[in-house]
Each structure stands twice: as C-alpha cells, then as structure tokens.
C-alpha cells in the first residue's frame, strides 16, 4: 500500500492564482481530512469528509473548497490564493475511530 499520497510536494503561486492540491489514499478509509500547519502552530483542520459525496468545514475553511467524488481522492482547491495561505498542507485518512494516517505534506508559498 502507498498509504496517503499528496501532490505536489512544493508549489509557488502568485496572489490570485488558483490551484488544486491532490490527496489520495489506497486503504479504503472512509474519513479524509485536510490540515494546515503554520510556524509555531499546531495542525488546524480545514475541511473533512466522512465518505464519498459528504464534506464539511473544519476550523479554518475560508478560501478553500473540497469535494469527494470517490473514496480514494480528496482534492483541496484554492480558488484565489492569498499570502495568508502560505503554509504546509497535510492530508489524512482514517477508518472508523482509529488513528489518522497523514500524507507527507505539500509546502505552498503564495507571493
């Protein structure tokens, strides 16, 4: 199993550009989440999904969109990037009440 994979590993955007961060898992996990980590901060939940077709907002959802059309994939879309979205983004998945497995992260810089 590849576990949780994220692409790209690094990305530089200009303010106002849009992009999609990809996340995929091959463990047939029902739950998937996106977190961001900023310097000196813990991980903060952006959006999450409890299954295909079901998504909901986390602690810091503004500026981000998600969709979940399949069990495996959970992309995170930035519609109009802002410098405040410079961060490291982690995708995670889990099954039931078990611990979450995290991907390696995407480091995003918005100029």
Residues lying near other proteins in the complex (CB under 8 A) are found at: 4, 31, 33, 35, 40-45, 48, 50, 58-59, 90, 92, 94, 96-105
Q: Do 32 and 54 form a contact (C-beta atoms < 8 A)?
A: no
Least Å distance, CB 111 to other proteins, is 21
Structure tokens at 38: 């900023």
Q: For the CB of residue 26, give the shortest distance to other proteins in the complex, in Å.
A: 16
In whole angstroms, give the CA distance from residue 82 to residue 90.
Answer: 18
Residue 65 CB, shortest distance to other proteins, in Å, is 18
In the chain, the N- to C-terminal Cα span, in Å, equals 36
């Amino acid at each position: 199993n590849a576990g949780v994979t994220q692409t790209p590993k690094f990305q530089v955007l200009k303010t106002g550009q849009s992009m999609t961060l990809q996340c995929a898992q091959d463990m047939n996990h029902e739950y998937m989440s996106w977190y961001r980590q900023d310097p000196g901060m813990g991980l903060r939940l952006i959006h999450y999904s409890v299954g295909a077709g079901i998504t909901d907002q986390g602690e810091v959802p503004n500026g981000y969109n998600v969709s979940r059309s399949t069990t495996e994939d959970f992309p995170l879309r930035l519609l109009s990037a802002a410098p405040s979205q410079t961060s490291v983004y982690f995708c995670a998945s889990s099954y039931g009440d078990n611990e979450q497995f995290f991907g390696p992260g995407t480091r995003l810089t918005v100029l």
